[in-house]
Amino acid sequence: MPSLQIYTAYSPWYALLCLAAGIGVAWFMYRRGGPWPTGLRWFLASLRALLVTLVCFLLLEPYTRRIRQEEVKPKVVLALDNSQSVGLFTQKEDLTRTLQRVDALAERLREKGLEVVNQTFQAGDTAVTSLAQTPLNAPVTNLHALLEKGNQTYHNQNLAATVLISDGIHNQGPTPTFQMYDAPIYPLALGDTVAQRDVVLEEVQYNKINYTGTSFPVVARVRHNGFTGTNATILLQENGKTVQRKTVALPRSGTVQTSFQVTSGQTGKKHYQVVVQPLTAEFTTLNNRRHAYLEVIKGKLKILVAAAAPHPDIKALRSALLTNQLLEVEVVLGPFQNPSFKTPYDAAILHQIPHTSGMGTEWLRRLRAANVPSLYILGPQTDFNAFNALQAGVQLSRPSPQFDEVQPILNNTFRRFSTEPIAQARIRSWPPAAVTYGDWQIAPAAEVILQQQVGTVRTTKPLLVYKPAAPTPAAVLLTDGSWQWRLTEAVDHGSSQIYDELMTHLVQLLANRRNQKRLHVYPVKDEFETSEGVALQADVFNAVQEEIFGQTVSLTLTHGGGKQTRHTFRHEQGGEGLRLGNLPVGVYRYTASTRVENQPYTDTGEFIVQEQNLESLLAVADHRLLSQIAERSETRLYYPAQLAQLEQDLLKANFKTVLRSHQEEKDLLEQPWFYFLLLGLACTEWALRRFYGSL
């Protein structure tokens, strides 16, 4: 029952003064009598005394305190793993029967005073009234996210227990056996732990970036159970047509690997499928097919390395780039002659250019006129005023003759090229390098690859920056001491793999440039999963390559099968671009157009939507994982035939109802009912005086 109490900011004894004031005013007004009967006069005086008392009472700054108590019933969450594997590898009749019995169990628990809610991987799942009617279509299984979702949603709502209904197959996110949860977990095991006769295309390995004129492998790894000595046919298909075929004997070990050599003479994104032809009595063919999406780009990129003077960096960079046979490196040292540029460069590395002496200025001018993407390496001889004018992605205001000794730290949020898992630890062990002290400002479109660590303090200051924006991509390395990194890595680990890959990937990223253009439409990432929404962004530039806004962009999207859809969106500053939602697997190409200064401009591009297909890789339930979860929660693992025991254990746990109090304080001046009370007293007195005063 809610209770209402009134308090004052001052001593409540002052209320006696308010009462005295009310009585005094009433006595003064009604002391001489009047046309009213004696009883009515006393009643009118009482109304006036009460009204004045309440008005004076407001001077004590009164406030109300309302205490409301509520009972919070113990809450039991039925967390259903509605991933595809549950529906694929559990007998449909058994699964439907089990879920119907769980729904009936939920009703009986509600009758016993427990509050039962349903939960799945989808948003808004509490509206699902029947688990038996829930679609089993989640593309991945993240059991930790499913359990943590209940913790976050019902953390302060007397969460008593979670019943995890799952086959135990877990393929994304942290392993739930090592996590802590607010409530005990009662796992209910689905699926079958007996391995079925099956052939699984476990993995397809390939390089996502390949080059024209070269042969690259597509490696397929096949796992099987129960087909020892049987021959399996593996197909490599491009756009639905078989281009290669391999026959392999399935060994006793259960795993076999085969490789296809592919040569492509055309640039662009390619879509291959690797298919294992079904075998007789195979349990399922859903895991016999995987997709491979890769990009073929121009081979033999010509790279210029130009330096104002000899430096150890030049040897380190040249050696690193030559580890990639598709890079052709030309080194030019000052003093320079006028460049001829007989062969156009795909990218350039400019070491301390622009130089304080002006050396290399003509080379720099010609490179920028040709829109050659450049990596600028800064040092003590760099002309920072001239460098700032280049707008290469980072600027130094008020350069100082002093230097910071900083260590490189890999920025894990940079995703334009991948690094080895060992890269973070190796890069952290590279020796400090000198960076000019000052206020380094990063351009809005720039992305940080390496950050600075000063001593033991990791900062967000940049050390290696990449700027993808038009008109020409650029990168900046803020130190001329990177040669020490390669030397140290080679001494410590026997090879300079991480340094070499970092530099070659960066140069390749620069060399794969876009031409200067007024309209640039691009996907937020090159590859999307079927479970995530596809989004495109746009950049529109004026004649001097300044970004402008407010244009309407029309886009025609073409699927690999030739189906076209048309879309329009408005290019706004900070806008979300074009969101296409979830799309089927395949290669998509688009043509976009808009008008700038009454002139039409177009742009084209492509992106990939691929399917992880994780749910069909493992057709065996993992009840051991569920048992570990139960052991950590000090419960037990239940099977569909033990639902009655599960019900008894939940009721035997004797979950308690929580009595929760809510206290609310509010000034009396803010409450309308008090003003209506004052108005009612005043109006009642006035009406009675008016009516009886006319007698």
For every residue of 269-292, which 3-state class applies, written as one string?
EEEEEEEECCCCCCCCCCCCEEEE
Q: How far is CA 32 from CA 43, 336, 457, 649, in A?
A: 15, 116, 87, 81
DSSP string, 464-522: EEEE--SS--EEEE--S-THHHHHHHHHHHSS-HHHHHHHHHHHHHHHSPPPP-SEEEE
Q: Which of 11-25, 223-237, 515-529, 679-693 has the lowest mean pLDDT?
A: 515-529
Mean pLDDT of the chain: 84
Residue of higher predicted confidence among 213 and 274? 274
Lowest-pLDDT range of 297-301, 330-334, 410-414, 534-538: 297-301
Structure tokens that stand for 366 in this block: 């010609």
d(CA 51, CA 387): 80
pLDDT interval class at 694 (50, 70, 90):
very low
191-206: per-residue pLDDT in tens? 877 777 888 888 888 8
Q: How many CA atoms lie within 13 A of 335 on its CB side?
A: 2
The average pLDDT across 265-278 equals 83
Residues of the chain above pLDDT 70, percent: 93
Strand partners, 221: 203, 257
Residue 182 has pLDDT above 70, yes or no: yes
Q: Using H for helix, E for strand and C for coil, what is the string for 6-47?
A: EEECCCCCHHHHHHHHHHHHHHHHHCCCCCCCHHHHHHHHHH
Answer whether residue 459 shows pLDDT above 90: no
On the question of pLDDT at 144 being above 90, the answer is: no
Residue 324: CB atoms within 10 A of its CB come to: 19
User: What's the rounded Cα separation, in Å, for the pair 450 and 211?
Assistant: 27
Where are any strands of DSSP class E within 334-429?
Answer: 347-351, 374-377, 394-397, 403-410
Q: Say if CB 447 and CB 466 are below 8 A apart.
A: yes
Locus of tokens 């206020």: 439
CB 77, CB 182: distance < 8 Å: no
- Sheet containing strand 209-211, strands side by side: 209-211, 289-297, 268-276, 231-238, 241-249
DSSP letter string over 85-116?
HHHHHS-HHHHHHHHHHHHHHHHHHHHTT-EE
Angle, CA 275 vertex, CA 274 and CA 280 arms, to 5°: 160
Alpha-carbon distance of 437 to 440, in angstroms, equals 9
- Exposure string for 210-222, b = 16+ CB within 10 A, e = fewer: bbbeeebebebbb
Say what the pLDDT of residue 612 is: 66
Q: Which tens digits make up the pLDDT trace of 577-630?
A: 899 988 888 888 899 999 987 889 998 888 888 776 666 667 678 888 888 988
Question: Quick check: 537 and 521 in contact, CB under 8 A?
Answer: yes
Residue of 546, 538, 550 lying closest to 577 (CA atoms): 538
- Read off the pLDDT of residues 592-602 as tens digits, 9 standing for 90 and up: 999 987 889 99
User: What pLDDT shows up at residue 64?
Assistant: 83
Q: What is the pLDDT of residue 514?
A: 45
* Intra-chain end-to-end CA distance of the chain, in Å: 48
Peptide bond into 310 cis (omega under 30): no
Higher pLDDT, 1 or 690: 690
| Interatomic CA distance for residues 555 and 519, integer angstroms | 12
Can you read off the two tokens belonging to residue 632?
């950590």
Q: Distance (Å, rounded) from C-alpha 38 to C-alpha 194?
A: 99
The string over 134-167, giving b where at least 16 C-beta atoms fall within 10 Å of a residue's C-beta and e elsewhere, is bebebbbbbbbebbbbbbeebeeebbbbbbbbbb
What does the pLDDT average to over 540-569? 83
The predicted model gives 286-301 an average pLDDT of 78
Rounded to whole angstroms, the Cα distance separating 201 from 287 reads 6
Residue 543: per-residue pLDDT = 59
pLDDT of residue 656: 84
Summarised one tens digit per residue, pLDDT across range 481-533 is 999 999 999 998 888 989 998 999 888 888 865 445 678 888 887 678 777 78
Write down the pLDDT at residue 123. Answer: 59
Reported as a single tens digit per residue, the pLDDT across 48-76 is: 888 888 888 888 888 888 877 777 788 88
Residues 430, 408: Cα–Cα separation, whole Å: 7
- For position 430, what pLDDT does the model report? 92
Beta bridge partners of 599: 596
Tell me the range of 222-226, 284-288, 607-611 where mean pLDDT is highest.
222-226
Closest CA to 288 of 367, 201, 203, 371: 201
